[in-house]
Structure 1
Amino acid sequence: MAERIRIYEENPNPKAIDRVVSVLRKGGLVIYPTDTVYGLGCDITNSKALERLARLKGVKLEKANWSFICADLSNLSDYVRQIDTPTFKILKRALPGPYTFILPGSNQLPKDFKKRKTVGIRVPDNRISHDLVVGLGHPIVSTSIHDEDDVLEYTTDPDLIYEKWNKHVDMVVDGGYGDNVGSTVIDLSGETPEVIRQGKGDLSIL
């Protein structure tokens, strides 16, 4: 059974954040709030946790399209090849916010992602996810808990989320009701921006 912990976004309790970070560091899978739907994630540097996440989602690790949840843009160069000024301006306009940007991957990607040509970068506008990433010291690899077949409440109500996932993950962070609209996904790895999915983030940032 997963541990459940209540954290308030307006003023996240540092001890509660440390408790979740400790679970992530030990290779745990954690469900936590973002500025869109709840995310399911693990430590980007923990291979066993990544394999577990892949099995849980029914995908091969090398083919999984997951996001790197970052606290801000300061460590972007660790995961992304050098980007041009227009691209950086789009990122600055949009983030933190409900967007996933597909960017060219760098040579310094963690070993489980070395073969990736591109990576999805997210900087959610949410204090809880921000503080978790800062506490961990590097990104959380994350996927949405939303499934196309699910009743929408499963992705928004912490009680129902816990009910559905408590046997599969190590911790569920109850950050209150989530949103039921995913992030807007924009591919910035090519010549011009390409909208892959219109979600919560509007396109005026392009």
Structure 2
Amino acid sequence: MSDRLEIHPVNPQPRLIEQAAGRIRDGGLALCPTDAGYTLVWALEARDAEERVQRLRALDTKHPFTLLCSAMSEAGRLARLDNRTFQLFRSLTPGPCTFILPASPELPRRLKQTKRRTIGIRIPDFRVTQALIAAVREPLLSTTAALPDDEDVPSHDAEAMSERWLRHVDLMLDAGDCPPGPTSIIDASGKEPQVVRQGFAPLPL
């Protein structure tokens, strides 16, 4: 049965965060508010949850998912950041910006198995998301909460997302309406960073 946990967006209740983190650590799939709409999140080792996402969103097994991190130090363990990229990353995070970066040799074993040379990372600027990552005690895999026919469903609208997704996930952290998406995307895996997508908050570049 899916749970809908109504949580404060600025001062999230620790009891509810721990309840959600426990479900995720046990392999659950969650709908979580961020600074760029609601998103699907699951634990690194939760293969069943990931397969559910692939089926629901009609994605192939090579589709890249984004890692939600809590801090620069965590991102630095998962990706290689030269000085220029580090400065750019630090200037735009936390915030609604996803970076495509060269993968670090120290990737968790689960991610190494995908044999990807790059990895998507972002540090969300939203208290609920940050508290959840901290409680799970590791980065979370994530992807856009959009079914194949979801073009008109606003990802920041809590009620609309609940109606669309609650039956598909194990729990929803309902913080009310959150900032809209999508994130901006910067590909920093090559010689020069390239803006792949301008999100709802234009990049100051």
TM-score computed with the length of structure 2 as normaliser: 0.92
Which of 71, 95, 98 is equivalent to 1:97?
Answer: 95
User: Secondary structure at the residue paired with 1:178?
Assistant: coil
Equivalent position of 1:22 in the other structure = 22
Write out aligned runs for 1:123-202 (5 A). 123-146=123-146, 149-150=149-150, 152-202=152-202
Preserved contact between residue 31 and residue 40 of structure 2 (Cα < 8 Å):
yes
Q: Alignment identity in percent?
A: 36
Gaps of 5+ in 1: none
Q: Which amino acid aligns with 2:73?
A: S
Single out whichever of 40-49 and 67-76 deviates more from structure 2. 40-49
User: Secondary structure at the residue paired with 1:38?
Assistant: strand
Deviation at 1:154, TM superposition (A): 4.0
Q: Establish whether residue 72 from structure 1 lines up as the match of residue 71 from structure 2.
A: yes
Query: Which stretches of structure 1, 4 residues or longer, exceed 6 Å deviation after superposition?
Result: none
Distance 1:133 1:96 in 2: 13
Distance 1:107 1:2 in 2: 37
Preserved contact between residue 58 and residue 148 of structure 2 (Cα < 8 Å):
no
Preserved contact between residue 34 and residue 126 of structure 2 (Cα < 8 Å):
yes
Q: Is the alpha carbon distance of 1:52 and 1:36 closer, same or farther for their aligned partners in structure 2, counting shifts above 3 Å?
A: same
Distance 1:102 1:54 in 2: 21
Q: Is the alpha carbon distance of 1:60 and 1:113 closer, same or farther for their aligned partners in structure 2, counting shifts above 3 Å?
A: farther
Q: Which amino acid aligns with 1:30?
A: A
Preserved contact between residue 99 and residue 122 of structure 1 (Cα < 8 Å):
yes
Which of 105, 108, 119 is equivalent to 2:106?
Answer: 108
Preserved contact between residue 97 and residue 201 of structure 1 (Cα < 8 Å):
no
Single out whichever of 188-197 and 70-79 deviates more from structure 2. 70-79
Deviation at 1:201, TM superposition (A): 3.5
Preserved contact between residue 152 and residue 180 of structure 1 (Cα < 8 Å):
no
Gaps of 5+ in 2: none
Q: Is the alpha carbon distance of 1:41 and 1:135 closer, same or farther for their aligned partners in structure 2, counting shifts above 3 Å?
A: same
User: Secondary structure at the residue paired with 2:40?
Assistant: strand
Deviation at 1:188, TM superposition (A): 0.5
Superposed CA deviations along residues 108-133 of structure 1, whole A, max 9, x for unmatched, are 22334210111110111100000000
User: Secondary structure at the residue paired with 2:34?
Assistant: coil
User: Secondary structure at the residue paired with 2:199?
Assistant: coil
Q: Is the alpha carbon distance of 1:129 and 1:66 closer, same or farther for their aligned partners in structure 2, counting shifts above 3 Å?
A: same
Superposed CA deviations along residues 84-131 of structure 1, whole A, max 9, x for unmatched, are 111100111110011000000112223342101111101111000000
Preserved contact between residue 57 and residue 148 of structure 2 (Cα < 8 Å):
no
Q: Establish whether residue 9 from structure 1 lines up as the match of residue 9 from structure 2.
A: yes
Deviation at 1:162, TM superposition (A): 1.5
TM-score computed with the length of structure 1 as normaliser: 0.91
Single out whichever of 152-161 and 126-135 deviates more from structure 2. 152-161
